[in-house]
Amino acid sequence: MSLKIALTKGRTEKQVVPLLEAGGIDCTAIRNKGRRLIFNELPDFHFILAKGPDVLTYLNNGAVDVGIVGSDILVEQRNPQYDMLDLGVGKCRFVMASTPDFNPNQTKRKIIATKYPNITQDYFEKIGEDVEIIRIEGSVELAPLVGLADAIVDIVETGTTLKENNLRVYAELQPVSTQLVVNRIALKQKRDAVYDLIQRLQQAKQVEA
């Protein structure tokens, strides 16, 4: 019985394919994928490529056994699945950022733009501040520049996007990295296959490190 794996396409896919290969899993088909989304040619591992939030939908509904997805998405979706392995790639962090003239101690209720409303809500609740949150789909850095929001909560990796848009970090929220998560039923029914995959990736992580 093969293990069904949903891999987040895009940035995550690019970083995880070399790890899978270092773990002895042939990813030639994924590397030459064209517009294909399903890869069933290996006997032991079947892959699908999906958007991050959809990886969890496939996993939670049992359409796949394993998901490979950023912890940003796991935390934002308050996902009930087990986190099984931090793959040590896709490393970045959540920050609050804004223009140089932003005053984090302003008395007026802040407007915060973000692609991650739950993470933003939880952060401001934790520090005891009531804010208005506006959900943005991408290029969130625009929001404080055009006066839509006082600040943003977003992912930073190199800091280039913030720098090139003249934005500054005002608070560090939490780290992000790519995780391997397993469907609860698959963990019981395909235990050996799941642990075989985890072992391969753990070894690959050590080789790559």
Ligand X SMILES: O=P(O)(O)OC[C@H]1O[C@H](OP(=O)(O)OP(=O)(O)O)[C@H](O)[C@@H]1O
Ligand Y SMILES: Nc1ncnc2c1ncn2[C@@H]1O[C@H](COP(=O)(O)OP(=O)(O)OP(=O)(O)O)[C@@H](O)[C@H]1O
Taking the complex as a whole, how short is the minimal distance between the CB of residue 119 and ligand X, in angstroms?
Answer: 13
Taking the complex as a whole, how short is the minimal distance between the CB of residue 183 and ligand X, in angstroms?
Answer: 26
Q: In terms of CB distance, is 2 or 77 closer to ligand Y?
A: 77
Out of 100, 128, 138, 147, name the contact with ligand X by CB under 6 A.
138
Distances (CA, A) of 13 to 8, 27, 60, 95, 172: 6, 11, 20, 24, 26
Q: In terms of CB distance, is 11 or 46 closer to ligand Y?
A: 11
Residue nearest to ligand Y (CB): 70
- Choose the stretch contacting ligand X; rule: CB under 6 A; options: 45-53, 68-76, 122-130, 155-163: 155-163
Half-sphere exposure of 92 (CA within 13 A, CB side): 18
Taking the complex as a whole, how short is the minimal distance between the CB of residue 158 and ligand X, in angstroms?
Answer: 3
Out of 24, 34, 138, 147, name the contact with ligand Y by CB under 6 A.
138
Total number of residues that touch ligand Y (CB under 6 A): 15
Residue 89 within binding range of ligand X, rule CB under 6 A:
no
Q: In terms of CB distance, is 131 or 140 closer to ligand X?
A: 140
Out of 7, 50, 68, 72, name the contact with ligand Y by CB under 6 A.
72
Contacts of 149 (CB under 8 A, 6+ apart): 111, 112, 113, 134, 143
Taking the complex as a whole, how short is the minimal distance between the CB of residue 168 and ligand Y, in angstroms?
Answer: 17
Please name the residue that has the structure tokens 């932003």: 102
Window 159-188: contact mask with ligand Y (x via CB under 6 A): -----------------x------------
